[in-house]
């Protein structure tokens, strides 16, 4: 019996087919129930670590139901539970709970990207590649971003919600909670949240419209010239200022000559 067949047997609630499959597999009811409980407990533990904001936002009963449904639909296909959960945000978006709490899918996506960045490889800027800015034309240069950088388009105050539950300072948590409540009670505003890892701990920030458009261009591997053209109509964007900040935040992996 392969893993998919075993999982199908574990979650089978049809008594007739369950008995037949159980007899063919050689498993007894008690053993299957124990395996199911252990599997669900491991899944809950894994998701509570990977998605700490979702775990705190939802009470245990709702969380258990969600985890069981997610586990049935997206069983782990790797040995490491820490690598499981990529589809959780999309799963929540299709669940009834998202109709009541529309911010949950984006909160889950933020949790996932923070988890990935926390467990991602250490990457720092190749400073020698900066020389391309002086030796090549903007249309011949691309900026390759650090793999730990992620962007989320959202209309929910996910950055504030995250800080309200995880900021190390109590005063900042309280302020973030008030800001989140205010934002949830007014007209939703589109914005972009960025996850980055300047050193060891991932951080979250909200980008200006111009920064967001520029970053999405870089993510799409457009040339520096194309990326600058995309934000040329913004009065607040300065490449020099962005570059200084990008180096401080460890956003850039290296500059690349497009012909190479």
pLDDT at res. 10: 62
What are the average pLDDT values for consecutive 10-residue runs of the chain, which has 260 residues?
56 51 57 79 92 89 82 84 94 94 97 97 96 96 97 98 95 96 93 96 96 98 98 97 98 90
| Torsion angle of C-alpha atoms 136, 222, 86, 207, degrees rounded to 10 | 90
Residue pair 227/207 in contact (Cβ under 8 Å)? The answer is no
pLDDT at res. 15: 43
CB-count exposure of residue 64 (10 Å: 0-12, 13-18, 19+): middle
Give every CB contact of residue 98 below 8 A, 6+ residues apart in sequence.
92, 104, 105
Dihedrals phi, psi of 55, to nearest 5 degrees: -60, -35
pLDDT at res. 196: 98
Question: d(Cα 164, Cα 246) in Å, to the nearest integer?
Answer: 26
Nearest in space to 95 (alpha carbons), one of 116, 68, 131: 68
Residue pair 140/223 in contact (Cβ under 8 Å)? The answer is yes
pLDDT at res. 2: 45
Residue pair 195/114 in contact (Cβ under 8 Å)? The answer is yes
Is 206 strand, coil or helix? strand
Dihedrals phi, psi of 189, to nearest 5 degrees: -120, 130
């Amino acid at each position: 019996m392969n893993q998919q067949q075993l999982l199908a047997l574990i979650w089978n609630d049809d008594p007739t087919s369950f008995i037949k499959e159980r007899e063919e597999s050689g498993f007894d009811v008690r053993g299957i129930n124990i395996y199911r409980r252990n599997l669900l407990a491991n899944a809950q533990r894994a998701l509570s670590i990977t998605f700490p904001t979702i775990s705190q936002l939802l009470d245990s009963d709702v969380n258990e139901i969600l985890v069981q449904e997610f586990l049935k639909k997206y069983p782990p296909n790797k040995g490491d539970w820490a690598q499981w959960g990529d589809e959780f945000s999309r799963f929540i978006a299709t669940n009834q709970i998202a109709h009541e709490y529309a911010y949950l899918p984006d909160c889950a996506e933020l949790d996932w990207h923070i988890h990935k960045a926390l467990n991602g490889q250490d990457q720092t800027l190749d400073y020698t590649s900066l020389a391309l800015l002086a030796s090549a034309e903007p249309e011949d240069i691309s900026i390759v971003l650090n793999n730990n950088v992620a962007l989320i388009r959202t209309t929910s105050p996910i950055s504030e919600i995250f800080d309200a539950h995880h900021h190390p300072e109590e005063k900042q948590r309280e302020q973030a909670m008030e800001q989140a409540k205010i934002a949830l009670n007014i007209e939703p505003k589109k914005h972009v949240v960025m996850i980055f890892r300047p050193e060891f701990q991932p951080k979250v920030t909200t980008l200006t419209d111009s920064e967001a458009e520029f970053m999405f261009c870089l993510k799409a591997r457009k040339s520096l010239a194309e990326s600058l053209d995309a934000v040329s109509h913004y009065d607040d964007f300065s490449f020099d200022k962005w570059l200084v900040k990008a180096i401080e935040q460890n956003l850039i992996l290296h500059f690349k000559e497009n012909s190479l």
